[in-house]
Structure 1
C-alpha cells in the first residue's frame, strides 16, 4: 500500500467515526489541485504581463497569446473532465449477497487485521471458494476470464464484489474501479476507465503548454538582455527565468516521460497496474489484451476526436478482446467456467 493510500484509508476510518470533521478532512485532499491552479495562474500572469511585453512585434505577441490560450483551454478542459468524471465502479450485478458472502468468508483465512489471505488457503478451502464463486457467477450470468493465483475467480472482500476483468480495488478511493490504472494524489482522483483518456490528454496539453512557455520565454529572455541591462527590471527577469528553468525541466521529466510511458501503455493495451502485475487469463498463461497497435489505441481514444476530451471509447470497460498466444493443446485445463465468445478473440498471428 502506498503512502497516500494509508492516508486516504485513515481519513475514511476517521470519517466513519466523525462524519463532519472527516468530510472536511477528505475535502482538504484537494489542496494539491488548488496549488496546481495557483501555479497556473501565476504562470499565466507572468506570460501575459512579462513574456508577451518583451516580444518586440505586436502581431507576433498577439499570435503567441492566441496559441497560449488555445492550449490552456484544451488543458483545463481535460483537467476538468478528470476531476468531474463519475467514478466507474463495479456494477451492482457483480455484488455478492450477504448470505453467499458469509459462506465465502467462512472458507477463507483472514489475518489479525481482517485482511483475506487467499494464498494461505488449503486445498479444501480453495475448492470451496471456487465452487461458491462459480455458482454465484453462473446464477448471475457473469463470465470472466481473469483468475487469481489459485485459479479461481477474483473477489474483493472489502467491496463484496466479483472483480470484472481488468478491475482492481483502489485502496485510496476505497472501491473497485473498472479498468483501473492508478490513483493520482495530485488530482485526488482515481484514474480508470471513466477518465483515462482525459488524463492522457491532460498530460499531452500540459507538456505542450510548458513547451510553448519555454519557447516564448527563451525569446523574451533574449529580448530582455538586448534591451535592458541585467540590473534593470529585476522584477521581470527573475520570475521569467525561474519559470523558464522550472518548465524547461518539467516538460522533459517527469511530465514528458510520463506522457511517453502512458502512450506506450495505450499502444500495448496495458494499464500501470497490469505492468506491475500481469493479468492471469484463464485458458492461456501467456495471453494478454494486446490486439494490435491501432485497435489498442481505438479502445482507449475512440474512433475519432482523439484530441478532444470527450467520450469516444469503443469499450464499455467490462469486456475486452484477448490475444491468446499459447496453442490450446498446450494449455492445462482449468475447471472454472468457460470463456465467452463475446469476451475473447481468436489468437493473433
Structure 2
C-alpha cells in the first residue's frame, strides 16, 4: 500500500468519526429510555404507563432513524454527461484563460449547441466551470471538496451524516432535523418526572442505571433546542427556495444585473413542493417524491407567462435556440463509493 493510499484511508476513517459518534449517541439514548427509564425506573405496577411510553417512543425513534439513514445513504447526483467538456473543449477553455471574452464566447456556444439550461453566472458574469470535474456547472450545482465531485443543488457537506446535503437528500435532511427535535422533545418530556424523582432521593440510595435518566434529560433538551433551531432554519430555506450556499452568496442570473436571493423563489407553496412534493401524506415520510429534476429550475423573473428568457438577454446570443429540459442522465463516478477517485482540492466558491 502506497503512502497516498494509506493517507486516503485514514482520511476516510476520520470523516466517519462524527457519524460514529451520533450512532453511539442514538444507541445510548435507546438504552437510557427503554431500559433505564421504562423498564427499570417506572414502577412495575404501572404497566399501562410503561407500554404507552415504549410504543410512542418507538414511533418517534423509528421516524427519526429512518430519516437519518435515508440522509446518509442517498447517493449524491452529479451533473449529466451533457455538461461535460470534451478534452478538446477543455483545452480550448484553458488556452483562452488570458482572454475572458473568448473564453466566455466559447462556453456560450457550447451551451447553445447542447441546449443546456444554464443561466447562473459567476463573478464578473462568467460562465461557471469546474476545473476539477471539467464540466460546465448546472444552475445551483457546486463542487464539494470533501466528496471530490460536483453535485446538483448542493446545500452543504454535513460531517454528522458523512454525506453532502443537496438535491438528492435535502427532504430527508430536513425531516431528520425535525424528527430529531421531536424525538428529543419526547424523551426529554418522558424522563422529566423521573428526573425530578432523582433529586428527591438520597444519592446513596439511587441505583446506577438511574444516572442514565439524569443524563438523558439534559442531553435530550440540549439537542432538542439545537435541532429545532437548525430544522427551522432549513425549513425557512426550503420555503424561500434557497440553499445554505445561496443564503450566504446570492445567485446571479444572466441579464439580471446582480445577485438576487429571490432568484428561484416562485412562492412559498411552490417552493415547499419542490422539496417535499405535491402529495400531502408523503410530506412527512422520508421517501423521494419531489418534482424537480435538479437541472431545470424555474426563475422568479421568468415565472410570469410570456416573460423573456434569460438566454435571450445574453449579449450576442438573442437568437440562440430555446432551452429544453435535458434527460435526467447521471455520470458514473470513477469510484465504487460514489465519490470521485481523485485528490480532494480546495472548495470552489463560484
Same-fold status (TM-score > 0.5): yes
Kindly state the Cα deviation for residue 21 of structure 1 after the two structures are TM-superposed.
5.3
Partner of 1:158: 132
Q: Distance in 2 between matches of 1:98 and 1:154?
A: 17
Q: Distance in 1 between matches of 2:321 and 2:61?
A: 46
Q: Does 1:321 align with 2:298?
A: yes
Q: Does 1:37 align with 2:33?
A: no
TM-score normalised by L of structure 2? 0.82
Kindly state the Cα deviation for residue 28 of structure 1 after the two structures are TM-superposed.
4.1
Over 3 Å counting, the alpha-carbon distance change for 1:55 and 1:82 in structure 2 is same
SS at match of 1:75: helix
Would you say the 8 A contact 1:134–1:336 is kept in 2?
A: no
Partner of 1:288: 263
Would you say the 8 A contact 2:36–2:212 is kept in 1?
A: no
Choose which of 281, 286, 297 in structure 2 pairs with 1:309. 286
Over 3 Å counting, the alpha-carbon distance change for 1:152 and 1:21 in structure 2 is closer
Q: Does 1:104 align with 2:98?
A: no
Kindly state the Cα deviation for residue 38 of structure 1 after the two structures are TM-superposed.
0.9
Over 3 Å counting, the alpha-carbon distance change for 1:16 and 1:194 in structure 2 is farther
Partner of 1:129: 103
Aligned positions of 1:39-188 closer than 5 A: 39-52=25-38, 53-56=40-43, 57-108=46-97, 125-188=99-162
Partner of 1:113: none
Kindly state the Cα deviation for residue 148 of structure 1 after the two structures are TM-superposed.
1.6
Partner of 1:299: 274
Would you say the 8 A contact 1:89–1:175 is kept in 2?
A: yes
Choose which of 208, 229, 235 in structure 2 pairs with 1:257. 229
Would you say the 8 A contact 2:41–2:210 is kept in 1?
A: no
Over 3 Å counting, the alpha-carbon distance change for 1:96 and 1:230 in structure 2 is same
Over 3 Å counting, the alpha-carbon distance change for 1:176 and 1:292 in structure 2 is same
**CA offset digits 1:75-124 (Å, max 9, x no partner):** 11111111211211111110000111011111226xxxxxxxxxxxxxxx
Kindly state the Cα deviation for residue 20 of structure 1 after the two structures are TM-superposed.
5.6
Question: Can you give the 5+ residue segments of structure 2 that lack an aligned partner in the other structure?
Answer: 326-350
Over 3 Å counting, the alpha-carbon distance change for 1:178 and 1:224 in structure 2 is same
SS at match of 1:150: helix
Q: Distance in 2 between matches of 1:323 and 1:194?
A: 23
**CA offset digits 1:56-93 (Å, max 9, x no partner):** 42112211111111111111111111121121111111
| Relative contact order, higher structure (CA 8 A, sep 6+) | 2
Q: Distance in 1 between matches of 2:204 and 2:273?
A: 54
Would you say the 8 A contact 1:85–1:195 is kept in 2?
A: yes
Q: Does 1:229 align with 2:218?
A: no
Partner of 1:193: 167
Would you say the 8 A contact 1:183–1:191 is kept in 2?
A: yes
TM-score normalised by L of structure 1? 0.82
Kindly state the Cα deviation for residue 243 of structure 1 after the two structures are TM-superposed.
2.3
Kindly state the Cα deviation for residue 221 of structure 1 after the two structures are TM-superposed.
1.7
Question: Can you give the 5+ residue segments of structure 1 that lack an aligned partner in the other structure?
Answer: 1-14, 110-124, 344-349
SS at match of 2:252: coil
SS at match of 2:123: coil
Kindly state the Cα deviation for residue 25 of structure 1 after the two structures are TM-superposed.
3.6
Over 3 Å counting, the alpha-carbon distance change for 1:89 and 1:341 in structure 2 is closer
SS at match of 1:190: strand
Partner of 1:120: none
Q: Output the aligned Cα RMSD.
A: 2.6
Kindly state the Cα deviation for residue 238 of structure 1 after the two structures are TM-superposed.
2.5
